[in-house]
Amino acid sequence: MDIIIENARVLTLDDDDTEYPEADILIRDGRIQALGHGVARGHGGAARVIDRRGKLAMPGLINGHFHSPMNLFKGALVDMPLELYMLFEVPPLAETAASRELAHTRTQLAAVDLLRQGVTAIHDDVFYVPVPTDEEIDGVMSGYADSGIRATATINQSNVVEYAKYPYLAELLPPELRQRMDAAPRVEADAMLALYERYIGQWEGSHGGRIRTAVSCSAPQRVTPEYFRALGELSRRHGIPYQMHILETKLQRVLGRDKYGHSLIRYAHEQGVLDERAVVIHAIWIDDADIELLARSGCSVAHNPISNLKIGSGVMPFRRLREAGVNLCLGIDEVPVDDGMNLWTVGKVAGLIHKISDPEYRMVYGSWWGVVGLVPLGTGLVGWCPAYLPFGFSTCAVKNRAV
């Protein structure tokens, strides 16, 4: 049955920035057929009519970076820098995986929360502690499938021993703790690649294309170079995104120089994985050469300003990246580093924090990137395809048309 949304204020965010104080939207087979004044007038067939007078209809927001396994930790794990925070977030000596039911419930919890605020799509970098199990993966993916949201999800899994992820930690740790980390469960690269093939085969493009897959190394220093490259090959072969956290903290800048002789961005480039499918997460401690490599690669950068401030990681050079032509999107990251789950406040903070990075206010498109200027970023109009959502917070999400 067709759906007609009547009398909504419509923000199209199209190239001409067309805005309708009052308009109708005609939806057929889950896609927008017509939009404008009175377009649904004279509609002959049966239709479900939704009057949205006084409400706003606009493209749905896209949460460009997220870790759903932390969905039950709202307001927890506060005030620690990333390296300490991660000991609690991803305990290196954890032994028990989440059940299918727990994974399903916690995934749906975020999906519902996000849909209610107008987020219609999510990129979830799902880590599995201590290692991925078929049950937990099925819980996450079926949670998204059942919720109605569009989701792209990875299997984020490190395959090196914990102390190798940090500079100097191997020398600093007592031998007994080092041995326990050596003995902690890890999945070999071959087994992970086989798991990924099954995962992509089962979920990629399923549920009418609403559920998608991506690969993730977590971060370059958290995997072997062979696995880092093999995931790049998998991403190329299947045409799916490749998520990687790079230079989130100053310590990672030190680690790159210590372990690889230069920046982790250059390392990713040299390993052949920095391309248009790469989603580089954070990119805070980058220099001019890194920005040039990011821009040349055609990759996207996921900006998580609240997370970056909450755990004191730093301020991403947003304006320099944007001026270099790097594709940017916004992310919540995860609920403990946001104290909640709200992409609108992420956009607001992004719109405010970067005003103070340079005294020149006429840098991009003739003005500051204020809160309003960032709306297209949050909807993925700069990067990913958006979905239209009729606001009112109680109506159902409208299935999408790609813009």
Beta-bridge mates of residue 211:
151, 206
Q: What is the DSSP string of 73-94?
A: -TT-S-S--HHHHHHHHS-TT-
Q: How far is the CB of 33 from Zn ion (least distance, A)?
A: 38
Which residue in the shown chain puts its C-beta closest to Zn ion? 333
Beta-bridge mates of residue 50:
5
Q: How far is the CB of 1 from Zn ion (least distance, A)?
A: 40
Q: Do the bridges between strand 56-66 and strand 387-390 make them parallel or antiparallel, or are there none, so unpaired?
A: antiparallel
CB contact at 8 A, 126 and 164 = no
The secondary structure of the chain in percent helix, strand, coil, rounded to multiples of 5, reads 40, 20, 40
Q: How far is the CB of 156 from Zn ion (least distance, A)?
A: 8
State the DSSP code for 156.
Answer: B
Q: How far is the CB of 249 from Zn ion (least distance, A)?
A: 12
Phi, psi (rounded to 5 degrees) for 323: -70, -25
Segment holding 49, helix H or strand E: strand 47-51
Phi, psi (rounded to 5 degrees) for 346: -60, -45
Site for Zn ion in 286-345 (CB under 5 A): 333
**Nearer residue to Zn ion within complex by CB, 124 or 333:** 333
Q: For residue 127, give the 3-state DSSP assignment.
A: strand
Q: How far is the CB of 403 from Zn ion (least distance, A)?
A: 27
**Nearer residue to Zn ion within complex by CB, 104 or 245:** 245
Count of CB atoms situated within 10 Å of the CB of 164: 16
**Nearer residue to Zn ion within complex by CB, 4 or 330:** 330
Q: How far is the CB of 61 from Zn ion (least distance, A)?
A: 18
Q: How far is the CB of 125 from Zn ion (least distance, A)?
A: 6
Q: How far is the CB of 67 from Zn ion (least distance, A)?
A: 5
Q: For residue 184, give the 3-state DSSP assignment.
A: coil
**Nearer residue to Zn ion within complex by CB, 219 or 273:** 219
**Nearer residue to Zn ion within complex by CB, 8 or 90:** 90
Comparing C-alpha atoms, which of 219, 216, 162 is closest to residue 193? 216
Q: How far is the CB of 335 from Zn ion (least distance, A)?
A: 12
**Nearer residue to Zn ion within complex by CB, 67 or 354:** 67
Beta-bridge mates of residue 242:
215, 278
Q: Considering Cα of 315, then 319, then 323, then 327, what sign does the dihedral take?
A: positive
Token output for 303: 């900006």
- What is the rounded CA–CA span in Å between residue 186 and residue 161? 8
Size of the site for Zn ion (CB under 5 A): 1
Radius of gyration of the chain (CA): 22
Q: How far is the CB of 304 from Zn ion (least distance, A)?
A: 7
Comparing C-alpha atoms, which of 122, 243, 137 is closest to residue 198? 137
**Nearer residue to Zn ion within complex by CB, 192 or 332:** 332
**Nearer residue to Zn ion within complex by CB, 67 or 322:** 67
CB contact at 8 A, 401 and 388 = yes
**Nearer residue to Zn ion within complex by CB, 26 or 349:** 349
**Nearer residue to Zn ion within complex by CB, 150 or 303:** 303
- Spatial CB neighbours of 54, under 8 Å, sequence gap ≥ 6: 9
Token output for 278: 């790469």
> Applying CB under 5 A, which residues contact Zn ion?
333
